[in-house]
């Protein structure tokens, strides 16, 4: 239990059973994330023959909503409801959008696989991905905010930490279950699996929402003295030191995310893995991220520097991508699975470290906004990385195959793996760049606390963790 910073998350106000029931919305979000960024990209590329650049752009569509997460959280804070609810309306409508997107998605994908219906399929798939992504962004933002409302202040970080762990557990379980169901792939089976996920989303979120938020009469009218979103945002961005941290977060997030649309197709196309086997790569990634979270919690509880943890995550990512790059040369699926797990481990360390640093930088009146900015930068740059990685893979692969043999050898080698490995090498360069940006910030908070006489230690938790 020493590895679990959320072991004592339960309280009299929020018993463990109620907290675990609330965490069900995170399981549904994890399931949607596995479908969108894991299983479906492999199915579209390998089984349905969809161009990789189309798949990458579709996966990036939900992240268009990510920059607005801070605004969504702020709006739920100030929501005026005749019923006296703040979070429930956002969770409910987010659930409806998530359900609707998943319900129409398989039919959109089947149209996308037919050349005569490609335009219709493209539009329908974009709508389905956007609805699903918007739904889980809204649901997760409001759901985590509800958890902070329900938990007492001294238990709040640990309660939200438990919700994040449930997200990773949901991703792992979904990856293995969906992968098992799709071992024998057919269009009918694809429709059944995705629509079952839509129904399960509705069931889990209703379970999570039931009798959680109490109605409050003071939420039926606006507070004229409440600061606006613009005022809070301006106060946050005036702190110039935040820029370097946000740049490091953006570079690191893009570096880790460029492989999101490529790892499962890479395993299927280059190493010949089945749909179930490649979906297990997402499970290995989620397991690595969970381990990274727990190791981060252990280090932080002992007074570790958050940015040193983030830097360790970047170094871990470099080694992970090297394993992935060399897996085809050794024809080793084992190396690919280990690499996927280490990618998750590195991302977990990097994400937790930078998030805790954002918490340390924030003033009390802008803490939520600072974490929202963290989530917005992280998710937006991740989306850009996903889209750029898919396009780059197609361009490099086409050039390597079509050019003359001598030039092909000079590039990397005209093989099917060329496009994939080129993207992985670029990710290694970006991770090294993020290390260079984040380096001067290491130890800054500790030096400041020593100068002011304040303790740098604080309870560990992932308050309002975005993704």
Give how far the C-alpha of residue 117 lies from the chain's centroid of Cα atoms, to the nearest Å. 31
Q: Measured between alpha carbons, how far is 370 from 351 in angstroms, rounded to an integer?
A: 14
Tens of pLDDT, residue by residue over 320-342, are: 999 998 988 888 888 989 999 99
Query: How much is the mean pLDDT over the chain?
Result: 76
- CB 324 within 8 Å of CB 339: yes
Least Cα distance to 94 among 161, 160, 26 occurs for: 26
Mean pLDDT score, 257-276: 80
User: 190 or 214, which is more confident?
Assistant: 190
pLDDT at 365 over 60: no
- pLDDT of 195: 87
Q: Distance between alpha carbon 47 and the CA centroid of its chain, in Å?
A: 25
What would the pLDDT profile of 393-434 be if each residue is shown by its tens digit? 878 877 766 654 554 444 443 456 778 888 899 999 999 999
Say how far apart CA 344 and CA 317 lie, in whole Å.
8
Give backbone dihedrals phi and psi of 231, rounded to 5 degrees, phi first.
Answer: -65, -45
pLDDT of residue 454: 43
Q: State the virtual CA torsion across 213, 217, 218, 222 in degrees, nearest 10.
A: 100
pLDDT tens for each residue of 280-323: 887 788 788 888 877 876 776 677 788 898 999 999 999 999 99
What are the DSSP calls for 18-73, one per residue?
Answer: HHHHHTHHHHHHHHHHHIIIIIHHHIIIIIS---HHHHHHHHHGGGGSGGGHHHHH
**Residues with Cβ within 8 Å of residue 420, at least 6 apart in sequence:** 262, 265, 266, 270, 393, 397
More confident residue, 425 or 365: 425
Max avg pLDDT among 59-73, 273-287, 453-467: 273-287
Name 179's Cβ contacts closer than 8 Å, sequence gap at least 6.
Answer: 39, 275, 276, 277, 278, 279, 280, 283
Sign of the CA dihedral 316, 320, 321, 322? positive
Query: Can you tell me the distance from the alpha carbon of 351 to that of 439, in angstroms, rounded to the nearest whole number?
Result: 16
Q: What is the pLDDT of residue 455?
A: 40
Report the first-to-last Cα separation within the chain, whole angstroms. 25
pLDDT digits (tens, 9 = 90+) for 167-204: 878 887 887 788 778 777 777 888 888 889 899 999 99
- Cα 229 to Cα 12, 78, 191: the distances in Å are 33, 10, 42
Residue 74 confidence (pLDDT): 64
Confidence (pLDDT) at 236: 65
Distance CA 194, CA 40 (A): 10
Residue range 123-162, pLDDT digits in tens: 888 888 889 888 888 888 778 777 777 777 666 656 666 7
């Amino acid at each position: 239990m020493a590895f679990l910073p959320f072991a004592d998350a339960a309280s009299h106000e929020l018993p463990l059973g109620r907290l675990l029931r609330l965490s069900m919305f995170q399981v549904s979000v994890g399931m949607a994330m596995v479908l969108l960024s894991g299983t479906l990209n492999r199915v579209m590329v390998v089984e349905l023959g969809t161009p990789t650049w189309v798949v990458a752009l579709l996966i990036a569509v939900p992240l268009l909503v990510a920059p607005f997460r801070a605004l969504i959280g702020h709006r739920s804070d100030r929501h005026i409801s005749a019923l006296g609810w703040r979070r429930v309306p956002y969770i409910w409508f987010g659930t409806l959008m998530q359900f609707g997107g998943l319900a129409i998605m398989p039919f959109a994908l089947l149209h996308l696989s037919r050349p005569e219906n490609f335009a219709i399929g493209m539009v329908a798939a974009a709508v389905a991905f956007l609805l699903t992504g918007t739904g889980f962004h809204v649901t997760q933002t409001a759901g985590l905010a509800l958890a902070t409302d329900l938990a007492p202040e001294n238990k709040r970080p640990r309660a939200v930490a438990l919700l994040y762990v449930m997200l990773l557990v949901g991703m792992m379980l979904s990856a293995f279950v969906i992968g098992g169901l799709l071992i024998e792939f057919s269009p009918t089976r694809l429709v059944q699996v995705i629509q079952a996920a839509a129904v399960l989303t509705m069931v889990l979120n209703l379970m999570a929402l039931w009798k959680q938020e109490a109605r409050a009469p003071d939420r039926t009218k606006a507070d004229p003295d409440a600061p606006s979103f613009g005022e809070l945002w301006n106060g946050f961005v005036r702190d110039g030191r935040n820029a370097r941290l946000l740049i490091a977060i953006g570079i690191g997030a893009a570096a880790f995310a460029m492989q999101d649309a490529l790892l499962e197709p890479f395993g299927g196309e280059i190493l010949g893995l089945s749909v179930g086997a490649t979906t297990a790569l997402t499970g290995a990634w989620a397991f690595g991220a969970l381990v990274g979270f727990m190791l981060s919690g252990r280090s932080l509880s002992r007074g570790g520097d958050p940015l040193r943890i983030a830097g360790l995550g970047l170094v871990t990512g470099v080694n992970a991508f090297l394993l992935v790059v060399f897996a085809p040369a050794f024809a080793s699926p084992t190396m690919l699975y280990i690499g996927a797990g280490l990618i998750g481990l590195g991302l977990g360390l990097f994400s937790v470290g930078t998030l805790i640093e954002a918490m340390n930088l924030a003033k009390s009146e802008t803490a939520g906004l600072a974490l929202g900015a963290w989530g917005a930068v992280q998710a937006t740059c991740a989306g850009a990385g996903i889209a750029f990685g898919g396009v780059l893979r197609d361009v490099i692969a086409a050039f390597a195959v079509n050019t003359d043999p001598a030039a092909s050898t000079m590039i990397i080698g005209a093989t099917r793996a060329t496009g994939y490995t080129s993207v992985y090498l670029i990710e290694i360069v970006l991770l090294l760049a993020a290390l260079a940006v984040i380096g001067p910030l290491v130890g800054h908070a500790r030096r400041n606390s020593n100068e002011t006489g304040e303790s740098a230690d604080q309870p560990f938790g992932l308050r309002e963790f975005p993704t």
